[in-house]
Amino acid sequence: MIMFAAFAAPAAATGPSQQIIAPVTAKDLGMPRHKIARDDALLWIFNGRGKCNPCRYGLTGFKGLNYVDGDGGFRFRFDFLDQRSGKTILDNVPDVMGTEDPLGWNFRAGAPLCVVSQDETWFPHFYRRTGTFHKHLKSGTVSFAIETRTYVSARTDEVLIAIELENRDTEPLALTLLPMLNKQNRFRASYGNGLACVATDLTETNKQGIAWTIPPKTKQTRHFAVSAVAKGSEPLVCQPDLASRVQQADMDGEAHIRRLAERLPVLQTESPQLDNLYKRCLASMALCRWEREDFRNQPTWVVGGFICVVSWDFSFSANTLCLVEPQAVRQLIRDVLEIGRLKASYLDIRKNRVLADFLYIQEPFAMRELLNAYTEESAAYTTPKATEASPSPLPKGRGLG
């Protein structure tokens, strides 16, 4: 098969007869959840700072709180209390899928009630879900559509949720949103050495949760946050700036992808599958770039789900990394020589130390690839500035400054 491809610099001007190929954006990378062959533990959203795992078949649930190394067993969701009937509408389908038949609950007398998920779409930095609930109760009809967007913040340790509810009935929809932290109804819970705290831009709360009344035939969007804070630094439950923080998280997520896309060639071929593969490779790179104040390098590139530095894994993308961020490759080379010293391959991202006292035999070949790519792509060879207290591990002569 003959394949035709068009490469272009993202910001380069094109002639009048040439087609302008736009760089990849975060929205281009969206994928329906049913096409993703991974369970929740292997599917996360990420914004350069931390991760969380949205729960499939739920509308508000997620695992982990903008975490780095592991979700710590943290679980969150909202349940919905209908104030007229006193009935609780659960959002716990992901928790009971293995043992219950939640799709039949809303039709069986005496069974629990639950919101029903309809569509779910993954993006690198947020997760969009739509669902519905419709039930005739003795107190009246409860009928609403729900859309949620779950984000991880790029600036603080929090997960943000925008919830849009559409009241389809002719009577007001009066709900109390019940925050469920680790399956318990509360606004605060222990998280690591601190606390996980729930906040909203709604103004009415009670001991159970957050009151929200929606007029008939009306849509409303409100915003929520679950934040990790130190004990004694608990934030207010009602925070009017949450809408702007959700918007900022979305903008930061777009910028996280754009930072890479604008420094790499854009690609368009006659094969949509190949074009999509190129986009997915770019998304994979974005999921490896971190910026956190507790990491020793800014930015820090890690090896996918392994939160550490390993030169062998980076060597496979050496040329691409040099196009995107040559200074990060330079720092990686220095870390391997100064910390690993060709005696250990796994390096910590927080402290100047090795994580395991063993060396990959292919480490010299990885260093060759990284050094070749760095010198070819960046042309940034300089004289090292070694001191007596911290001598340079590089040979005498030219090195990495």
Question: Are residues 169 and 57 part of one domain?
Answer: yes
82-108 burial string, b = 16+ CB within 10 Å, else e? bebbebbbbbbbbbeeeeeebeebbee
Supply the pLDDT for residue 307.
Answer: 85
pLDDT in tens, 93-133: 999 988 888 878 888 888 899 999 999 999 999 999 999 99
**CATH number where 242 lies:** 2.70.98
Bridge-based pairing of strands 300-301 and 289-290 is antiparallel
pTM of this structure = 0.88
In a domain, 277, yes or no: no
11 belongs to a structural domain: no
Q: Are residues 50 and 192 in the same domain?
A: yes
User: Do residues 197 and 297 both lie within one domain?
Assistant: no
Residue 208 sits in the same domain as residue 73: yes
Q: What is the pLDDT of residue 389?
A: 46
Among 253, 276, 300, the domain boundary falls at 253
Whether 215 and 356 map to the same domain: the answer is no
Residue 266 lies in a domain: no
pLDDT tens sequence across 175-199? 999 999 999 999 999 998 999 999 9
Domain coverage including residue 173: 28-253
Residue with tokens 């931390």: 50
Tell me: pLDDT of 319 over 50.
yes
Residue 31's pLDDT band, with cuts at 50, 70 and 90, is very high
Predicted confidence band of residue 393 (pLDDT cuts 50, 70, 90)? very low
Q: What percent of the chain has pLDDT over 70?
A: 89
Q: Do 234 and 339 share a structural domain?
A: no
215-230 residue pLDDT tens: 999 999 999 999 999 9
Same domain, 77 and 220: yes
Q: Are residues 215 and 325 in the same domain?
A: no
| Domains of the chain: total | 2
271 belongs to a structural domain: no
Residue 396, domain member (yes or no): yes
Residue 260 lies in a domain: no
The verdict on 232 and 338 lying in the same domain is: no
The pLDDT of 283-305, averaged and rounded, is: 89
- The reported pLDDT for the residue numbered 17 is 52
Q: What is the pLDDT of residue 304?
A: 65
Cα atoms in the Cβ-side hemisphere of radius 13 Å centred on 27: 3
Which residue blocks in 240-362 are alpha helix, DSSP H? 242-261, 272-286, 311-315, 318-324, 326-335
Residue 232 sits in the same domain as residue 368: no
In terms of domains, do 249 and 321 share one? no
Mean model confidence pLDDT for the chain: 88
Instruction: Specify the DSSP element, H or E, that contains 373.
Output: helix 363-378
Model confidence band, residue 356 (pLDDT cutoffs 50, 70, 90): confident
Does the residue 283 lie in any domain?
Answer: no
Of 231, 253, 275, the last residue of a domain is 253
Instruction: Give the pLDDT mean for 374-378.
Output: 82
Is residue 360 included in any domain, yes or no?
Answer: yes
Examine the domain organization and report whether 95 and 226 are in the same domain. yes
d(CA 47, CA 49): 6
